[in-house]
Amino acid sequence: MRPVLILASQSPARASLLTRAHLPYDTVVSHVDEDAALAEHGPLSPSDTALLLARAKAEAVASLEVAEGRVVLGCDSVFELDGESYGKPYTADVAVERITAMSGRKGTLHTGHWLVDRGNGETLGEGAVSSADVYFAQMSREEIDDYVATGEPLQVAGSFTLDGRGSVFIERVDGDPNAVIGLSISTLRRLLAARGISPSHWWRPTPQVTTS
């Protein structure tokens, strides 16, 4: 039997969080043009940016035939520093610049969640943002260069990870640490509960078919 939940993301970190929580899911990548989605709405706060992109991803996958009768979750993370939004740096130079600015300071990681329940015929769904303050240690230029050289920060929002090498530089997190990784399991539970779905039901073992 296929899982009820579809994760509209190719993020290994988000997939790992669902796996660790023993929540069965399938992955369907949305292929949303993020720049185009943002251009349609004008300037947004970092929190609203995360929610808008999560919604765009969830609705794109929910429109597919594979989502019929299932629940689709879209997520997106945006890092906020000095009121500015920061997504993935993609290049080493940008990552070095951003991490240098973050060194010894506090930033906020916003993760937007959007859930569409195709089992109830939804097409728009509902969402929520989980935010957490991240406190960074003072980093030397050598440490920053060594970290960027690993390639890890290039493809993640804010140029750091809590579940990888970047954890070495994080002194404290105020808020849901899972949201910093990319998916708040508690937020997902609340969104599911609003639709009468309990993820604990997914832990029930599949009945074994016996033959005589």
| pLDDT at residue 208 in the model | 56
Q: pLDDT tens-digit profile of 128-150? A: 999 999 999 999 999 999 999 99
25, part of any domain = yes
Q: pLDDT tens-digit profile of 165-208? A: 999 999 999 999 999 999 999 999 999 999 999 999 898 776 55
210, part of any domain = no
46, part of any domain = yes
CB 55 within 8 A of CB 44: no
211, part of any domain = no
Q: Counting every residue, how long is the chain?
A: 212
| Domain harbouring 58, CATH code | 3.90.950.10
Q: Is the pLDDT of residue 103 over 80?
A: yes
Catalytic residue numbers read 76
Bridge partners of 34, per DSSP, are none
208, part of any domain = no
49, part of any domain = yes
Query: How many domains would you assign to the chain?
Result: 1
What domain range includes position 114?
5-203
182, part of any domain = yes
Regarding pTM above 0.85, the answer is: yes
